[in-house]
């Protein structure tokens, strides 16, 4: 049985949407100037708003460009607007609006985007490029929580932070494991070392942290001791943590629910290349759009197999990474 | 209703000051969006020197009327006004386009006092203005003035001080081809934003060609009316019509309709060469020649 660090107690798979719901209910108690900007869709704790604060709901309809700019204007007047939709709509249909009317002025808008390759709706709705397209935008913070506990804590931290945030929701994906204890201290911009390991480190984000945890068990059977770094803030990246694990093991595998072009893997690669050389293998989607697949079950997950996003795939990449490192003279101890 | 000739005469003097400041801006920068700026002169004069509620000692006053210049490439027109209000030093007129200047190439709220909206990407201003108008309505709904409020849980900064304000948006005719304007038009009508006044600077020209060729807009008045707006068409260079119409729109507050003033203007108005060229973005030669003409006319 793998030995995890403090604040980690692995439990059964639990949908993380409950964390966003609980987070929002706490946020509105603390920040009563929250405004819910709808684009003909849902919002965490929407029922609470309908009953208790109908004046704080603004429905923009299927007009995301307008919705994003309305949110920017509300923020300029002291409100904290939340936008929520599939990333293709809330971000991509309003990409320039977000840039021009939210980010340039650093307006305090929270963008919740349903992101990631999983889903029944096909290429249009199942997003592979969510991290890459948001990571290049100045002034935008990007958060991607790993489980239901972190989801709630990150949600609250996002609302406390003053400035624009892209909050990645992977709620069309299979439910992640319960990973953290209730007293887990989430902090924006800080990666958390879930497990130490001397042979290699998996840097994972969001749903893929669960797969990394499952991969640990597979590798442990062969006596390979692998660490896990939970990168829940994609931007700004916790570069110190990346440097630390790169220097420790010189073998890094990144794992993300999306394309490896522009994503977490590339973000980590730049730090490694500039600051702490190590062998890197990126697990994620390889330059391809997603497609429909029925809701995954324990023994059948077509998209996970198709894209190679499972624990076995991560484990394979870890072995390959260690082998590559051991072949390179510069990394020999 | 009608304004005395003295008031109009004073405004005409002000508009000449605005033009002289615009010429000074171009004199230093040697380029800029001359045509679309000149078509705005009387509109900004009527707004800033007659109609807007502003606190000249505090450009960030919560109760100020907001101005969203959607056609932010013509920020020169507002830059020409700001020193007259005392919001920025007059020397800034010589620093347009300069690195580190408050007068950025497109109006920038982050950099310049007295600017409410950072624009440049066209077609978004009306949405932003609708969002500002919606904010005012929401604050008032959550904190009705002089009423005992039990249900609101708004924070103190909104509870304690919530002066009403109006929102003025200035859009160009060319940017009305952007579909987002019509999303905003629907939104403003849905939420009965009668505190929103949109002024169309209808100068009939886009970047390279007449708007009519690029993307015909007509009948523009009927379009806004069909979207549920109150509409009036005026001569956008006639200060009497401008101030009367702004007052009229203001007096209609409470009718639940957003207001659209279609101001028919001339690109490059007031400088014969620029009028002739329909100058959208003047480079050194055309600007210099136009400046020569302008100096003769406006001193």
Beta-carbon contacts of residue B49 (< 8 Å; ≥ 6 apart): B10, B11, B14, B81, B84
A122 inside domain: yes
In the numeric block, which tokens belong to residue A175? 């439910």
Query: How far apart are the CA of A23 and the nearest CA of chain B, in angstroms?
Result: 18
A8 inside domain: no
- Which chain A residues are closer than 8 Å to B180 by Cβ? 63, 65-66, 69, 97
CB A69 within 8 A of CB B124: yes
- Which chain B residues are closer than 8 Å to A55 by Cβ? 138, 141-142
pLDDT, tens digit, for every residue of A146-202? Answer: 999 999 999 999 999 999 999 999 988 999 999 999 999 999 999 999 999 999 999
Choose one of A151, A180, A209: the last residue of a domain.
A180
A:154-183 residues touching chain B, CB 8 A cutoff: none
Report the residue from B108, B128, B179 with minimal CB separation from A69: B128
Q: Alpha carbon of B98 to those of A206, B102, B201: distances in Å?
A: 44, 9, 27
For position B151, what pLDDT does the model report?
Answer: 41
In the numeric block, which tokens belong to residue A138? 């100045």
Q: Inter-chain contact B129–A53, Cβ cutoff 8 Å? A: no
Which residue carries 């960030």 as its tokens? B60
Q: Among candidates A266, A270, A282, A289, which has minimal Cα distance to A124?
A: A289
CB A35 within 8 A of CB A58: yes
Query: How far apart are the CA of A31 and the nearest CA of chain B, in angstroms?
Result: 8
Interatomic CA distance for residues B167 and B181, integer angstroms: 16
In the numeric block, which tokens belong to residue B34? 């001359």
pLDDT, tens digit, for every residue of B236-291? Answer: 999 999 999 999 999 999 999 999 999 999 999 999 999 998 877 777 888 889 99
pLDDT, tens digit, for every residue of B212-240? Answer: 999 999 899 999 999 999 999 999 999 99
What ipTM is given for this predicted complex?
0.94
Question: Do A155 and A198 reside in the same domain of the chain?
Answer: no
A40 inside domain: yes
Query: How far apart are the CA of A57 and the nearest CA of chain B, in angstroms?
Result: 10
Q: Inter-chain contact A66–B180, Cβ cutoff 8 Å? A: yes
CB A139 within 8 A of CB A117: no
Question: Do A213 and A170 reside in the same domain of the chain?
Answer: no
Please compute the mean of the pLDDT values over residues B176-190 and round it to a whole number: 98
Report the residue from B124, B135, B186 with minimal CB separation from A69: B124
Domain assignment of residue A32, given as a range: 14-180
Question: Do A95 and A212 reside in the same domain of the chain?
Answer: no
Q: Which of A26, A35, A70 best probes binding to B when mutated, by most B CB atoms within 10 angstroms?
A: A70
pLDDT, tens digit, for every residue of A7-57? Answer: 999 999 999 999 999 999 999 999 999 999 999 999 999 999 999 999 999
pLDDT, tens digit, for every residue of B201-219? Answer: 999 999 889 999 999 998 9
In the numeric block, which tokens belong to residue A42? 């849902």
The domains of chain B are located at 5-298
Report the residue from A33, A77, A100 with minimal CB separation from B121: A100
CB A213 within 8 A of CB A177: yes
A43 inside domain: yes
Domain CATH for A83:
3.40.50.970
- Which chain A residues are closer than 8 Å to B192 by Cβ? none
A205 inside domain: yes
Question: Do A30 and A151 reside in the same domain of the chain?
Answer: yes
Q: Inter-chain contact A55–B110, Cβ cutoff 8 Å? A: no
Q: Which of B121, B127, B160 best probes binding to A when mutated, by most A CB atoms within 10 angstroms?
A: B127
pLDDT, tens digit, for every residue of B244-253? Answer: 999 999 999 9
Domain B5-298 in CATH 3.40.50.970: yes
For position B160, what pLDDT does the model report?
Answer: 41
Q: Inter-chain contact A100–B120, Cβ cutoff 8 Å? A: yes
Report the residue from A33, A55, A104 with minimal CB separation from B155: A33
Choose one of A180, A205, A231: the last residue of a domain.
A180
- Which chain A residues are closer than 8 Å to B188 by Cβ? none
pLDDT band at B98 (very low <50, low <70, confident <90, very high): very high
In the numeric block, which tokens belong to residue A203? 């840097």
For position B159, what pLDDT does the model report?
Answer: 39
Q: Alpha carbon of A181 to those of A25, A57, A255: distances in Å?
A: 20, 33, 23
Q: Which residue of A has its CA nearest to B167?
A: A73
CB atoms within 10 A of CB A59: 14
pLDDT band at B144 (very low <50, low <70, confident <90, very high): low
DSSP per-residue letters across B132-162 = HHHHHHHHHHHS-TTS--SS----HHHHH--
A9 inside domain: no
Q: Inter-chain contact B142–A55, Cβ cutoff 8 Å? A: yes
- Which chain B residues are closer than 8 Å to A79 by Cβ? 135, 138
Interatomic CA distance for residues A162 and A33, integer angstroms: 13
Q: Inter-chain contact B141–A76, Cβ cutoff 8 Å? A: no
CB A99 within 8 A of CB A138: no
Choose one of A147, A180, A213: the last residue of a domain.
A180
Question: Do A215 and A252 reside in the same domain of the chain?
Answer: yes
Q: Among candidates B120, B222, B244, which has minimal Cα distance to B172?
A: B120
A159 inside domain: yes
SS3 label, residue A73: helix
- Which chain A residues are closer than 8 Å to B134 by Cβ? 58, 70, 73-74
pLDDT band at B163 (very low <50, low <70, confident <90, very high): low
- Chain B residues in contact with chain A using a Cβ-Cβ cutoff of 8 Å: 108-110, 116, 118-121, 124, 127-132, 134-136, 138-139, 141-142, 153-155, 157-158, 179-180, 183-184, 186-187, 191
**pTM of the complete model:** 0.95
In the numeric block, which tokens belong to residue A274? 């500039």
Interatomic CA distance for residues B187 and A140, integer angstroms: 27
Question: Do A170 and A200 reside in the same domain of the chain?
Answer: no
Domain CATH for A273:
3.40.50.920
Question: Do A35 and A115 reside in the same domain of the chain?
Answer: yes
Query: How far apart are the CA of B113 and the nearest CA of chain A, in angstroms?
Result: 13
Which residue carries 């707006």 as its tokens? B229
Question: Do A158 and A91 reside in the same domain of the chain?
Answer: yes
Q: Is the pLDDT of residue B193 over 50?
A: yes
Tally of domains in chain A: 2
Question: Do A208 and A144 reside in the same domain of the chain?
Answer: no
Report the residue from A66, A76, A78 with minimal CB separation from B157: A78
A185 inside domain: no
């Amino acid at each position: 049985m793998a030995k995890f660090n403090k604040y980690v107690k692995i439990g059964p798979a639990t949908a993380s949407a409950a964390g966003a719901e609980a987070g929002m209910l706490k946020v509105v108690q603390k920040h009563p100037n929250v405004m819910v900007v709808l684009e003909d869709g849902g919002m965490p704790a929407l029922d609470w708003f309908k009953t208790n604060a109908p004046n704080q709901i603004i429905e923009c309809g299927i007009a995301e460009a307008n919705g994003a700019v309305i949110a920017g204007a509300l923020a300029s007047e002291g409100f904290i607007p939340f936008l929520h939709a599939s990333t293709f709509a809330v971000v991509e249909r309003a990409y320039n609006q977000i840039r021009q009317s939210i980010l340039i002025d650093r307006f305090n808008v929270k963008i919740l985007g349903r992101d990631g390759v999983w889903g029944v709706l096909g290429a249009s709705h199942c997003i592979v490029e969510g991290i890459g397209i948001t990571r290049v935008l100045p002034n935008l913070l990007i958060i991607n929580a790993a489980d239901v506990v972190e989801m709630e804590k990150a949600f609250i931290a996002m609302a406390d932070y003053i400035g624009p945030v892209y909050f990645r929701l992977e709620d069309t994906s299979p439910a992640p494991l319960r990973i953290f204890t209730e007293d887990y201290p989430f902090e924006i911009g800080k990666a958390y070392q879930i497990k130490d390991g001397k042979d290699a480190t998996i840097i994972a984000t969001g749903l893929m942290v669960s797969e990394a945890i499952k991969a640990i068990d597979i590798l442990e059977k062969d006596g390979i001791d692998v660490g896990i770094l939970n990168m829940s803030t994609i931007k700004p990246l916790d570069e110190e943590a990346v440097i630390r694990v790169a220097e420790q093991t010189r073998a890094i595998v990144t794992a993300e629910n999306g394309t490896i072009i522009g994503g977490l893997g590339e973000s980590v690669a730049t730090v490694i290349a500039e600051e702490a050389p190590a062998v890197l293998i990126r697990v994620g989607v390889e330059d391809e759009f997603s497609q429909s697949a029925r809701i995954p079950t324990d023994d059948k997950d077509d998209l996970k197999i198709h894209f190679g996003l499972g624990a076995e795939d991560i484990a394979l990449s870890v072995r390959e990474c260690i082998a590559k490192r051991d072949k390179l003279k510069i990394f020999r101890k | 209703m009608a304004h005395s000739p003295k008031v109009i005469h004073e405004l005409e003097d002000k508009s000449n000051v605005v033009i002289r400041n615009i010429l000074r801006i171009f004199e230093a920068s040697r380029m800029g969006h001359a045509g679309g700026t000149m078509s705005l002169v009387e509109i900004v004069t009527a707004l800033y020197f007659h109609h807007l509620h502003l606190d000249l000692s505090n450009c960030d006053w919560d109760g100020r009327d907001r101005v969203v210049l959607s056609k932010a490439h013509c920020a020169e027109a507002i830059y020409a006004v700001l020193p007259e209000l005392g919001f920025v030093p007059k020397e800034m007129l010589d620093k347009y386009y300069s690195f580190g200047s408050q007068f950025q190439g497109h109006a920038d709220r982050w950099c310049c006092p007295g600017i409410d909206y950072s624009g440049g990407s066209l077609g978004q201003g009306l949405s932003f203005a609708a969002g500002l108008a919606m904010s005012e309505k929401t604050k008032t709904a959550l904190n009705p003035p002089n009423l005992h409020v039990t249900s609101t849980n708004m924070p103190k900064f909104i509870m304690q001080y919530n002066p009403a304000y109006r929102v003025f948006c200035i859009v160009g005719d060319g940017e009305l081809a952007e579909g987002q304007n019509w999303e905003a038009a629907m939104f403003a009508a849905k939420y009965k934003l009668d505190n929103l006044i949109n002024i169309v600077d209808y100068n009939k020209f886009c970047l390279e060609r007449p708007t009519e060729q690029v993307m015909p807009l007509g009948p523009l008045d009927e379009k806004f009316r069909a979207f549920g707006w109150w509409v009036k068409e005026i001569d956008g260079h006639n200060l009497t019509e401008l101030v009367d119409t702004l007052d009229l729109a203001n007096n209609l507050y409470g009718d639940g309709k957003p207001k659209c003033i279609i101001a028919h203007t001339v690109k490059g108005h007031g400088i014969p060469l620029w009028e002739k060229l329909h100058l959208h973005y003047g480079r050194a030669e055309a600007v210099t020649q136009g400046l020569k003409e302008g100096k003769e006319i406006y001193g």
